[in-house]
Amino acid sequence: MMANDQLKRRAMELFRAAGEDPGGSSVEDLRARDDALWARFVPPDAIVEAVDAAGVPSLWVSVPGSDPGRAVVWFHGGGFMIGSPAGRRAFGADLARAAGCRVLLPGYRLAPEHVFPAQLDDAVAAYAWAADLLGAGNVVLGGDSAGGGLAVTAMLAARERGLPLPAGAIPTSAALDWTFTGASHTTNLHLEPVATKDVYRQVAERFLAGHDPRDPLVSPLFADLRGLPPVLLMVGGEETLLDDSRGFAEALRAAGGQADLRVYEGMFHYWHLFASFLPEGRHAVQTMAEFVLRRTGARSAA
């Protein structure tokens, strides 16, 4: 699929303007700019409800007709330092509409105020809450960037803690290797507007606070992946994180799991969040929705 260059440029300029560079503005300014960027895309029919998900302040997002019995638990990105449930309301509504379900957006704790494993603990708590409410077979985990990795590590931690596993997972533009071994960190550096290895190293210093980045609950690329449910990996072909998804897909298949890797050629980090005007973004959301429908079933395909 070829990107419409004008629309792609617009999306990349919006993303760059938000300035996810922790070495520049203050964390507070970055958080405010990030929320402001995504707020402009919230559709008027989005239904947003605040909920306490086992102590994790979260948002339920749905649209008229959403099946309340199925859900995607989606973890926002932002390097574990910025981002919020409010910043994924538009995406949540897009996915809820396409998949005919609800989307839970957990407000997990952020660095530098809270370091690892606070984010993981909150993610597991929110997932367990949703699984208890709806049944694990009616829940899919997902997330973007750091949140994409969190969706995977939450599954691993749930397995360790004896919790039922979700129906599947959708790590998107996912950070799955915080040791940055993928060649795409170098080969795609000139193409990536914001999410570079230097940025990731800076945020890793803050959220890991000296913890080993090779810990499988930080970098799931190094985890024992046996027994995980099917995973849909989505990544832009121009992302520095491209090889994170490629490597994880290979590792999951080697462990006997099902990995469906979708590389969107010509696309950049977070392209899926611009579904309101970017055709590739809409296609990504629809692909996610089809996976959710296959994994959870549906009251209706509408």
Residues known to be catalytic: 145, 239, 269
Alpha carbons 249 and 258: distance in angstroms, whole number: 8
Q: Cα dihedral angle (88, 94, 96, 102), rounded to 10 degrees?
A: 20
Alpha carbon dihedral 117, 122, 128, 130, in 10-degree steps, equals: -150
Length of the chain: 302
Query: Torsions phi, psi of 201, nearest 5?
Result: -65, -40
Helical pair 89-99 and 279-296, crossing angle rounded to 10 deg: 60
Q: Is 94 helix (H, G, I), strand (E, B) or coil?
A: helix
Instruction: Map residue 278 onto helix, strand or coil.
Output: coil
d(CA 46, CA 29): 26
Contacts of 250 (CB under 8 A, 6+ apart): 259
**211 phi and psi angles, rounded to 5 deg:** -70, 150
Residue pair 192/182 in contact (Cβ under 8 Å)? The answer is: no
